[in-house]
Amino acid sequence: MRHILIIAAALFASSALAETPRDFLTRFEKEAGAAASAERGARFFNTSHGGEWSCASCHTERPAQAGRHAKTGKAIAPLAPAANAERFTDAAKVDKWFRRNCNDTLNRLCSAQEKADVMAWLLAPK
């Protein structure tokens, strides 16, 4: 019984705090001051930007499937929320990985517009 209460409390607490993938699309669009384009997002994700890697090097061109780290070979769970319910539910995690992966792929941070476009593409029905 105690366990059920604890689980219920934990669920309540996490549903009160957790974000949904759509929240990130909204946030990035607002920061960019313009609507997102899934088509631009796909192009951004799948092409390299002067460096060795594109986003697809590790996440594949079909983000509903599992990827593989281009250098270490470690498996990476799918990025598309439809295929992986844990994605885009924690702002600190989302911001951390955009920072790291954009630095590694573009040698700079991604703009709000680029992030909005990627979100739109990841959320688009495939």
Partner 1 sequence: MKRIIFPPLFALLAALALPAQADSYRLPKNAVFEEECGSCHIAFPPQMLHADSWRAMMGDLSRHFGSDASIDEKRRTAITDFLVANSGGRKTGDTRDAQGKPLLRITETARFAKKHREISTATWKRVAIKSPANCAACHALAAVGEYSDHSAVSPK
Options 20, 47, 65, 103; binder of partner 1; rule CB under 8 A: 103
Residue closer to ligand HEC, measured from CB, 7 or 52: 52
**Residue bearing tokens 């995690």:** 93
Q: Which range binds partner 1 by CB under 8 A, 6-14, 22-30, 69-77, 112-120?
A: 69-77
Contact call for residues 119 and 48 (beta carbons, < 8 A): no
Which ranges constitute the DSSP H helices of the chain?
2-17, 21-32, 38-46, 56-59, 91-106, 112-123
Quick one: DSSP state of residue 83? T
Neighbours of 39 (CB within 10 A): 12
> Does 10 sit near partner 1 (CB under 8 A)?
no
The contact pattern for ligand HEC, residues 47-66, with x = CB under 6 A and - = no contact, is ------x-x-xxx-------
Options 43, 69, 124, 126; binder of partner 1; rule CB under 8 A: 69
Whole-number minimum distance, CB 48 to ligand HEC, in Å?
9
